[in-house]
Amino acid sequence: MTPLTYVKGIGPARAAMLEAKGLSTVEDLLGYVPFRYEDRSNVKTIAQLAPGEMATVTAEVRSAKLSGFQRRNLGLFEARFSDASRAILVGKWFHGGYLAKVLAEGMKVSLFGKIEFDSYSGELTVLHPEFEILSGEDDEGEAALHTGRVVPIYEAASKITTRLLRSWTHRILEAIGPIDDPLPQYLRQRLKMPDRWTAIRHTHFPPPEADLRLLNQFRSPAQFRLIFEEFFWLECGIALKRSKAKTLPGIAFEITDRVREKVKAMLPFKPTEAQKRVIQEIANDMKAARPMNRLLQGDVGSGKTIVAAEAAVIAIENGYQVAVLAPTEILAAQHAFYFGQILGKLDYVVALLTGSFSNREKAQLKKLVAEGLIHVVIGTHALLEKDVEFQRLGLAIVDEQHRFGVMQRLGLVQKGVHPDVLVMTATPIPRTLAMTLYGDLDVSVIDQLPPGRKPIITKHATADRVEQVYSFVKKKVEEGRQAYVVYPVIEESETQAMKAAQHMYEHLSREVFPQFAVGLIHGRLGGNEKEAVMQRFKEGEIKILVSTTVIEVGVDVPNATVMVIEQAERFGLAQLHQLRGRVGRGAAQSYCMLVTEKMNDTARERMRTLVDSTDGFYIAEMDLKLRGPGEFFGTKQSGLPSLRVANILRDTEILEVARREAADFVAHPPALEELQKAVAYIRDHWQRRYGLVTVG
């Protein structure tokens, strides 16, 4: 681990800038690979250029000028270049005002672009060429790095240009000798991958025969090898963690006829085939004498809750307690209500524990839980408090996992002795990604909606037509239905959102719907108040519920068939899909109205996606595409490892190969030593980054 300041040209100031990009060692910089390559091997003099060709020239700036609306950065920037051939090439940039500070007379630059002939002026021109300033701090001979070859382009890091990064990387590669290759030999042979040293060198500085197209698709042999390697160690880490979890002693629940009778007595409806399959997978895990670690994935409204309730019955009938962790008070209250209703039939005691309870209430509840008198405890973060102790915790259910970190999950698990764990999520992500994201979990998927559901009809309206939306709401309420009207929460300012909702509530209740009971719910209401409002909505007393996004997850009122989302452009796709999932929960036709004020292109794309589709899987994919994996997964929260070379979205097929190879390697290592070597390597290099708390 050599600090970057050892590299010539990197002083403390630059090191700090690199550090901000997560680059602090020489190894980090070698892992910072080009995001694009440019073929600058077709280098010509200006006199040799022919209109229509893509070419690179190395030339000097003779003059530069900006014309047009300079202040608004709308100007046309024009620079005239010449070289040893003494011919002139004119570079033009529209909206090029910013270049006035970048390109100046006398600078040597490399230009790359499509050469054109301007018949008006009779000059050779190039529009918006790629360019790189060549004058600068170079060692002898390094100039050849930047032109006359396939050149790597790096993402600049504040003031650190692609050119500096290229020079430094080159210096490092010159200075250090070949490095060891930690990948098992047989893999390299089978997948025909270059060794590590070659792969690193060729990724930064492709050899002359390299295929530019493959390089720009991240599929040159060198890039493949680095991407594969990154995934391989990650997947080995996960495989080791899983195999270790499987050797822990767990609870072997018994599923007797009595348990089956109880489950039958509890079920309010016939489970779908998908629900049956999933509950079977869960039951098998629960029977086994090792802890269950299962992720239950299913679109909003697919019926995950009843599956969780069945698992709860198994645990309780075996003499254990169940904990249900929910991300919001509303959702916790919903679950408490639902579980209370269906499990109450079996005379189980269900209790709710949230942060808004008084200390006395909490203390009382905690005592009952500790004594084992409560069968199912449902709660928010309050459940994780140290002094919540169970007499015999057998099953921990975590809802909407993406809101909880892995550590919180562990916090709950530690309240029992290797209890079974069931994690529920409505974020439908491709299976391979799920397995990587949730690492150590087995995955079950409910891929079918309960019978009789009609797809929700989604419409998009601009704010100037909101009256039409309201009259539609009025019509539906007159037919006996209920509606939600949601306002966005801007995260920094829950108070403002609350005010906006409050304001709209007054407007709607007094002016738009004076004839109906309108309710208001937002994050600043106390837990009891929230519950009271929800209860009145559930009972049909409140017809129209105005809310901030507190209802985002889990609310279940089948008679509510209209969802109006105001300022929908402010929400992300996944969130909009979740919100929409609050309707369409019964047999009646449901509607979602997206009302927008100001939209940009991606917002328009989001609205279109929702109008077109109710398929959570498709929507998640679009979301991934529009936002990119980093933001989509919210890496920090989700515990998703930070990858350097690989990109989970772009490289899914390599991830799959790596996953298969890793599982095979861990299960049947060519030699025990190889496995031990790998474990040591992962410990040293990957554990911290991947958050694999314990490996092997």
Annotate each residue in 499-538 with x if it binds Mg ion (CB under 5 A) or - if it does not, as one string: ----------------------------------------
Tell me which stretch binds ligand ADP (CB under 6 A): 44-52, 103-111, 268-276, 630-638: 268-276
- Confirm or reject binding of residue 303 to ligand ADP (CB under 6 A): yes
Report how far apart, in Å, the C-alpha atoms of 94 and of each of 69, 128, 129, 253, 324 are: 11, 8, 11, 71, 58
Q: Are 650 and 624 in contact (CB under 8 A)?
A: no
Torsion of CA 27, 30, 33, 38, to 10 degrees: 170
Cross-strand pairs, 460: 594
Q: Are 483 and 563 in contact (CB under 8 A)?
A: yes
Task: Report the SS3 class of residue 36.
Answer: strand
- Confirm or reject binding of residue 647 to ligand ADP (CB under 6 A): no
Choose, by CB under 6 A, the member of 200, 300, 382, 489 that binds ligand ADP.
300
- Confirm or reject binding of residue 362 to ligand ADP (CB under 6 A): no
Question: Nearer to Mg ion by C-beta: 399 or 566?
Answer: 399
Question: Nearer to ligand ADP by C-beta: 446 or 518?
Answer: 446
Tell me which stretch binds ligand ADP (CB under 6 A): 86-94, 181-189, 270-278, 636-644: 270-278
- Confirm or reject binding of residue 250 to Mg ion (CB under 5 A): no
We find the least distance from the C-beta atom of residue 540 to Mg ion, in angstroms, to be: 21
Amino acid at 623: D
Three-point CA angle 377, 378, 382, nearest 5°: 100
We find the least distance from the C-beta atom of residue 635 to Mg ion, in angstroms, to be: 24
For residue 450, the partner it binds in Mg ion, ligand ADP, none, with Cβ less than 5 to 8 A by kind, is ligand ADP
Strands (E), 52-167: 54-67, 76-82, 88-94, 108-118, 123-127, 130-133, 150-153
Question: Nearer to ligand ADP by C-beta: 267 or 466?
Answer: 267
Annotate each residue in 536-575 with x if it binds ligand ADP (CB under 6 A) or - if it does not, as one string: --------------------x-x-----------------
Tell me which stretch binds ligand ADP (CB under 6 A): 52-60, 103-111, 299-307, 603-611: 299-307
For the chain, how long is the longest CA-to-CA vector? 95
Cross-strand pairs, 509: none
Question: Nearer to ligand ADP by C-beta: 272 or 380?
Answer: 272
- Confirm or reject binding of residue 585 to ligand ADP (CB under 6 A): yes
For residue 271, the partner it binds in ligand ADP, Mg ion, none, with Cβ less than 5 to 8 A by kind, is ligand ADP
Tell me which stretch binds Mg ion (CB under 5 A): 315-323, 349-357, 551-559, 591-599: 551-559
We find the least distance from the C-beta atom of residue 331 to ligand ADP, in angstroms, to be: 10
Closest residue to ligand ADP: CB criterion? 303
- Confirm or reject binding of residue 554 to Mg ion (CB under 5 A): yes
Sign of CA dihedral 607, 613, 615, 617: negative
- Confirm or reject binding of residue 306 to ligand ADP (CB under 6 A): yes
d(CA 576, CA 571): 6
Q: Name the residue among 221, 296, 218 with its Cα closest to residue 648.
A: 218
Three-point CA angle 284, 287, 291, nearest 5°: 95
Amino acid at 479: E
Report how far apart, in Å, the C-alpha atoms of 359 and of each of 284, 368, 371, 565 are: 40, 14, 18, 37
For residue 272, the partner it binds in ligand ADP, Mg ion, none, with Cβ less than 5 to 8 A by kind, is ligand ADP
Q: Which long-range contacts (CB under 8 A, 24 or more apart) does 160-164 make?
A: 160/14, 160/17, 160/18, 161/132, 161/133, 162/132, 163/132, 163/133, 163/134, 163/136, 164/9, 164/14, 164/136
Choose, by CB under 6 A, the member of 291, 298, 394, 416 that binds ligand ADP.
298
Number of residues that bind Mg ion (CB under 5 A): 1
Q: Which of residues 273-292 bind ligand ADP (CB under 6 A)?
A: 275
Choose, by CB under 6 A, the member of 304, 415, 580, 606 that binds ligand ADP.
304
Tell me which stretch binds Mg ion (CB under 5 A): 110-118, 429-437, 487-495, 547-555: 547-555
- Confirm or reject binding of residue 327 to ligand ADP (CB under 6 A): no
Question: Nearer to Mg ion by C-beta: 206 or 554?
Answer: 554
We find the least distance from the C-beta atom of residue 267 to ligand ADP, in angstroms, to be: 9
Question: Nearer to ligand ADP by C-beta: 306 or 314?
Answer: 306
Amino acid at 355: G
- Confirm or reject binding of residue 450 to ligand ADP (CB under 6 A): yes
Q: Name the residue among 356, 569, 371, 593 with its Cα closest to residue 471.
A: 593
Task: Report the SS3 class of residue 349.
Answer: coil
We find the least distance from the C-beta atom of residue 577 to ligand ADP, in angstroms, to be: 11
Tell me which stretch binds ligand ADP (CB under 6 A): 130-138, 160-168, 285-293, 296-304: 296-304
| % helix, strand, coil for the chain, step of 5 | 45, 20, 35
The length of the chain in residues reads: 696
Question: Nearer to ligand ADP by C-beta: 337 or 472?
Answer: 337
Task: Report the SS3 class of residue 262.
Answer: helix
* Residue 148 DSSP code: S
Q: Name the residue among 670, 583, 665, 684 with its Cα closest to residue 300.
A: 583
Three-point CA angle 242, 660, 201, nearest 5°: 110
- Confirm or reject binding of residue 327 to Mg ion (CB under 5 A): no
- Confirm or reject binding of residue 301 to ligand ADP (CB under 6 A): yes
- Confirm or reject binding of residue 616 to ligand ADP (CB under 6 A): no
Q: Where do the H-state alpha helices sit in 581-686?
A: 601-612, 616-627, 629-633, 635-638, 652-667, 672-685
Tell me which stretch binds ligand ADP (CB under 6 A): 165-173, 263-271, 512-520, 642-650: 263-271
Number of residues that bind ligand ADP (CB under 6 A): 18
d(CA 43, CA 57): 5
Instruction: Give the number of other Cβ atoms within 10 Å of residue 158's Cβ.
Output: 11
Choose, by CB under 6 A, the member of 167, 272, 321, 354 that binds ligand ADP.
272
For residue 97, the partner it binds in Mg ion, ligand ADP, none, with Cβ less than 5 to 8 A by kind, is none
- Confirm or reject binding of residue 403 to ligand ADP (CB under 6 A): no
We find the least distance from the C-beta atom of residue 411 to ligand ADP, in angstroms, to be: 23
Question: Nearer to Mg ion by C-beta: 7 or 295?
Answer: 295
Applying CB under 6 A, the residues found at the interface with ligand ADP are: 269-272, 275, 298, 300-306, 426, 450, 556, 558, 585
Applying CB under 5 A, the residues found at the interface with Mg ion are: 554
